[in-house]
Homo-oligomer: A and B are copies of this chain.
Amino acid sequence: MESMEKLSKVNIVYTNKLNEKILKKENVLVIYDQFLNHFPDVKKFISKYTNYPVDAGEELKNIEHFAGHIKNILNLTAEFSVSDMTILAIGGGTVGDFSGFVASVFKRGVKLIHVPSTWLSAIDSAHGGKTALNVPPSKNQIGTFYQAQKIIIIKELLFSQPPERSFDALGELLKILLLCGTQSKWAQFFKNKIKNKNQLLWDNLPWAISSKYKIVKKDPFEKSGLRQILNLGHTLGHVLELEWSMSHGVAVQQGLCFALNWSLQNKLMTKKTHHLIFDVFTKFEIHQKLDQISLKNTESILLKDKKNLGNSKVNFIFLKSFGKVIREPVKISDLVIEMRRQGYKFT
């Protein structure tokens, strides 16, 4: 299977294997997760290019290391033509966020191609042009909007991911189904027995990706707020990701549970819809985890949230029903009260 979809100015290429015909050798720097050296095909591909191996993970995005990375990349690309330079990023979300940020500021911007190597990046972070660095303990405080020219999605690479990785991506797939799907799509989607999560994700990838682009296109720079609906499940998700050191995907699943329960509590969502959704969550073994959490840290992370409106309020995304979203400013103190009501134990 090799197909190409043009979404705005982005080309999404679906292909089976990483192959050298993808692009020329000159003026290309490959920034890649060095764990991928375990895959002989990938290793062979990368070795033909000027390349910069990195350790994937949030530490890669730490702003403290940024100057050092830039110096290394300047040395590697000293002889490149700037007007023709391309950064090809092969890796998951953190490698994509980091490489995208570098591409957006290197000599005031060079071309960018993403090859997402994890399901989560293939379905979500490689799309939409968000790049980011972290200022620990906060995530993504620094960044740009910078659209990749091309995103190459490689079946073989994604299917070689361990099962946790496909579970990770499930949260984002469920989120986009809730945001852009219908009740009948939801029902149909899950009526069959779930045998292979990889195949489930692969089959739904083109629909999920194009649904995301439809939202992003309405508000590419997150100015009108329309794009913020993609943050469904992310407000509390980011807190749990940091406080409980959860993977982003699992934290978003937890954040979805919280947002849907709050939507029910606020009588925005009917009990029937809430049931329909949580039946599927249960089927996929997604359960709300209600452990201890620091009140002080929760408040401080929410205060630094990019959706912070000042006056200790954040924009929160509620769901009415499939495809029907409400974005509403909520007080951080009210969010904390709701957490307590749902059963989180503050320390």
Once the chains bind, are B310 and A81 in contact (CB under 8 Å)?
yes
Render A136-153 as a binary contact track against B, CB cut-off 8 A, 1 for contact. Answer: 001001111100000000
Tell me which residues across on chain B come within 8 A of A104, comparing CB atoms.
Answer: 144
Tell me which residues across on chain B come within 8 A of A306, comparing CB atoms.
Answer: 82, 107-108
Q: How many copies does the complex hold?
A: 2
Once the chains bind, are A143 and B27 in contact (CB under 8 Å)?
no
Tell me which residues across on chain B come within 8 A of A221, comparing CB atoms.
Answer: 108-109
| Cα distance, A137 to B80, chains bound together (Å) | 18
Tell me which residues across on chain B come within 8 A of A63, comparing CB atoms.
Answer: 66-67, 70
Q: Tell me whether A135 and B74 are in contact in the complex, defined as CB-CB below 8 angstroms, given that A308-B81, A308-B82 are known contacts.
A: yes
Q: Tell me whether A142 and B70 are in contact in the complex, defined as CB-CB below 8 angstroms, given that A303-B78, A309-B81 are known contacts.
A: yes
Cβ contact of A144, chosen from B26, B27, B108, B310, cutoff 8 A: B108
Q: Tell me whether A141 and B81 are in contact in the complex, defined as CB-CB below 8 angstroms, given that A64-B67, A221-B109 are known contacts.
A: no
A106 within 8 Å of B by Cβ? yes
- Min distance, Cβ A231 to any Cβ of chain B, angstroms: 13
A84 within 8 Å of B by Cβ? yes
Once the chains bind, are A67 and B70 in contact (CB under 8 Å)?
no
Once the chains bind, are A142 and B105 in contact (CB under 8 Å)?
yes
| Cα distance, A80 to B144, chains bound together (Å) | 19
Once the chains bind, are B108 and A222 in contact (CB under 8 Å)?
yes
| Cα distance, A309 to B107, chains bound together (Å) | 13
Q: Which of A81, A83, A135, A307: most chain B Cβ within 10 A? A: A83
Once the chains bind, are A144 and B144 in contact (CB under 8 Å)?
yes
Tell me which residues across on chain B come within 8 A of A311, comparing CB atoms.
Answer: 81
| Cα distance, A79 to B306, chains bound together (Å) | 11
Identify which of residues 106-145 in chain A touch chain B, using a CB-to-CB cut-off of 8 Å: 106-109, 130, 132, 135, 138, 141-145
| Cα distance, A84 to B315, chains bound together (Å) | 14
Q: Tell me whether A105 and B143 are in contact in the complex, defined as CB-CB below 8 angstroms, given that A64-B67, A82-B306, A84-B310 are known contacts.
A: yes
Tell me which residues across on chain B come within 8 A of A79, comparing CB atoms.
Answer: 303, 310
A324 within 8 Å of B by Cβ? no
Q: Report which A residues bind B (CB closer than 8 A).
A: 26-27, 63-64, 66-67, 70-71, 74, 78-84, 101, 104-109, 130, 132, 135, 138, 141-145, 221-222, 225, 303-304, 306-311
List 19 A-B residue pairs with CB atoms under 8 Å apart, sorted by A's residue number: A27-B310, A63-B70, A64-B67, A71-B135, A74-B138, A78-B303, A81-B309, A82-B308, A101-B105, A105-B105, A106-B142, A108-B130, A108-B143, A108-B144, A108-B145, A108-B221, A108-B222, A109-B144, A144-B144
